[in-house]
Amino acid sequence: MPKELVRVTPARLQRWEDCPRRYRATYLDRPAPARGGAWAHSTLGAVVHNVLRAYFESPPDQRDPEDLPVLLRRYWKGDGFRDREQAAEYRSRAAKWLDEYARRPEAAGEPVALERWVSAPTGALIVEGRVDRIDDRDGQLVVVDYKTGRHVLTTEDARDSRALALYLMAARRTLRRPGSRVELHHLPTGRVVAWDHDAETLAEHRRHAERIAEELSAAASALDRGADPDEHFPPRPGRGCSVCEFRRSCPEGRAAAPDLEPWDLLAP
């Protein structure tokens, strides 16, 4: 019998690599363990993504940066911020980021897709996921991912992002068009970093994704057979434990990284 294709999203693969225990708590444990509260940086990221989606839904000749404050007001949320003053400060920062971004050349085109679900069989996997934006530039697809965090991006971030590479493969298949470029657009700095993949760099990402998918499938099968969850989904303590939504129920994670305030990871 041919082997069944494993269906994965880049987020699932990343979660497994970060920490198998966190993967199990996120996708397999039912009822799901209690999660921590909202993080201000996640709230801000979601707001900015929603505003940009709404903004780019209009055709280029009807888009006006002056409309952005209205969209920001519509989508704004204050979850996770320290207080009203901090929320207000970041709301005005987001307004500035959005205004500056909307006037850049990268914001002038007409996207082919916004928050589009794409999917493709690639080797032993079916890769799928939701892409922030897909542009068509001179007949070539470009996968665009927005970032709003503290990390200042480099070209290596675009080159090494497995999520972007897998999205590109899935977007080419779903939209049946060629493309090689992936881009990260960092709103707080206005920085755009890009990478042009070729067959070999995509194949390397695909092989790595297949290895990870095989590991997590084997662990899930063992769990179904009643194996010890901690043996097959061990904790992988590290810096990420500070923001893990399951740290309250994970002694190893609490010992590995300090508690953070929900607003500590906002871009400075």
**Which of residues 25 and 134 has its CB atom nearest to ligand SF4 in the complex?**
25
**Which of residues 15 and 172 has its CB atom nearest to ligand SF4 in the complex?**
15
Please report the beta strands in the chain, taking only residues with DSSP state E, as ranges in sequence order: 6-8, 113-122, 125-137, 140-147, 179-186, 191-196
250, 265, 266, 267: residue in contact with ligand SF4 (rule CB under 6 A):
250
**Which of residues 101 and 246 has its CB atom nearest to ligand SF4 in the complex?**
246
Does residue 21 belong to the site contacting ligand SF4 (CB under 6 A)? yes
Q: Token pair of 80, please? A: 């996770």
Q: Please, is 156 exposed, middle or buried when counting C-beta atoms within 10 Å of its C-beta (0-12, 13-18, 19+)?
A: exposed
Does residue 247 belong to the site contacting ligand SF4 (CB under 6 A)? yes
Asked if residue 189 lies in contact with residue 152, where contact means CB atoms within 8 angstroms, the answer is yes
43, 236, 263, 267: residue in contact with ligand SF4 (rule CB under 6 A):
236
Does residue 22 belong to the site contacting ligand SF4 (CB under 6 A)? yes
Residues 23-52 that bind ligand SF4 (CB under 6 A): none
N- to C-terminal Cα separation, the chain: 55
33, 109, 123, 240: residue in contact with ligand SF4 (rule CB under 6 A):
240
Does residue 235 belong to the site contacting ligand SF4 (CB under 6 A)? yes
Stretch that binds ligand SF4, among 64-72, 84-92, 171-179, 236-244 (CB under 6 A): 236-244
Q: Please, is 20 exposed, middle or buried when counting C-beta atoms within 10 Å of its C-beta (0-12, 13-18, 19+)?
A: buried
Stretch that binds ligand SF4, among 16-24, 82-90, 156-164, 216-224 (CB under 6 A): 16-24
Question: Rounded CA gap, 232 and 216, in Å?
Answer: 9
* 122 contact partners, CB below 8 Å, separation of at least 6: 166, 169, 170, 206, 209
In the bound state, the residue with its beta carbon closest to ligand SF4 is 253
The site string for ligand SF4 over 194-233 (x = CB under 6 A, - otherwise) reads ----------------------------------------
Q: Token pair of 206, please? A: 């695909």
Nearest to 213 by CA among 128, 130, 124: 124
Name the residues that contact ligand SF4, by CB under 6 A.
Answer: 19, 21-22, 235-237, 240-241, 244, 246-247, 250, 252-253
